[in-house]
């Protein structure tokens, strides 16, 4: 059996990763699936069924990253339950630790086919977040939005060089 093909969607908060995934998924519903780690975590917080949901909620409200093990556990579950050939992953990896754990856990299960990087200025990110009306707790406060942009610059953006080196 061929391995599912993963496309990582990387970009700062509000840059449009989720929108692009939505368009691609609806244009090619039989081939493409899309998972957003942020959406998976927000669903857990909303449903309040899984132990530790309240800790997730606290960290997400502050714009802090969740433990890699926990995020990948849920993401892997979603990926394995999916029958489509191409899977867009929005929100993972977010830092070196995420990527290291992915390599260790997922290497034999899936193939990374491509990485799409969506660039945008901080100003655009801020404006787009102000415009969206998803009711996200972490969108409500400019200091938290700035913190998320900072986490992206410091922890996520350096991954682009790694992927470039990997070809
Ligand atoms: P997002 O919807 O991608 O902006 O993610 C919202 C929040 O979920 C982030 O600010 C983090 O708190 C958490 N989160 C999402 N993906 C990850 C990840 N790969 N590693 C750690 N935390 C994550």
What pTM, to 2 d.p., does this model score? 0.96
DSSP character at residue 31: T
Ligand 1 pocket mutation, candidates 37, 43, 64, 137, criterion most atoms within 8 A of CB: 37
Strands 32-36 and 111-118 turn out to be unpaired
Q: How far is the CA of 13 from the centre of ligand 1 (A)?
A: 10
- Return the best residue to mutate from 53, 94, 95, 139 for the ligand 1 pocket (most ligand atoms within 8 A of CB): 94
Whether the CB of 60 sits within 6 Å of ligand 1: yes
Confirm if 118 and 36 have CB atoms less than 8 A apart: no
Mind giving me the DSSP string for 146-158?
Answer: HHHHHHIIIIITT
DSSP 38: H
- Report how far ligand 1's centroid is from the alpha carbon of 57 (Å): 11
Q: Distance (Å, rounded) from C-alpha 78 to C-alpha 57?
A: 20
pLDDT for position 3: 94
Q: Indicate whether residue 75 lines ligand 1 (CB < 6 A).
A: no
| Interval 9-28: pLDDT, tens | 999 999 999 999 999 999 99
Q: Which atom of ligand 1 is nearest to the CA of 67?
A: 21
Q: Is 4 in the pocket of ligand 1 (CB under 6 A)?
A: no
What is the reported pLDDT for 133?
Answer: 86
**pLDDT for 56-83, tens place per residue?**
999 999 999 999 999 999 999 999 999 9
CA 1 to ligand 1 centroid distance, Å: 31
Closest CA to 146 of 14, 37, 56, 41: 14
Predicted pLDDT at 2: 86
**CB neighbours of residue 117 within 10 Å:** 16
Q: Flag residues of the chain having pLDDT under 70.
A: none
């Amino acid at each position: 059996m061929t391995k599912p093909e993963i496309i990582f969607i990387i970009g700062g908060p509000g840059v449009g990763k989720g929108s692009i995934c939505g368009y691609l998924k609806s244009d090619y519903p039989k081939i493409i699936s899309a998972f957003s780690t942020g959406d998976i975590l927000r669903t857990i917080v909303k449903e309040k069924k899984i132990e530790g949901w309240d800790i997730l909620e606290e960290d997400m409200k502050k714009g802090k990253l969740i433990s890699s093990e926990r995020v990948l556990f849920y993401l892997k579950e979603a990926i394995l339950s999916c029958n489509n050939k191409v899977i867009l992953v929005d929100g993972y990896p977010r830092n070196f630790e995420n990527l290291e754990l992915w390599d260790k856990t997922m290497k034999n299960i899936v193939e990374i086919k491509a990485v799409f990087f969506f660039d945008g200025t901080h100003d655009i990110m801020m404006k787009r977040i102000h415009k969206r009306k998803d009711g996200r707790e972490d969108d409500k406060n400019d200091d938290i939005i700035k913190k998320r942009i900072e986490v992206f610059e410091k922890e996520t953006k350096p991954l682009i060089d790694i992927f470039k080196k990997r070809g």
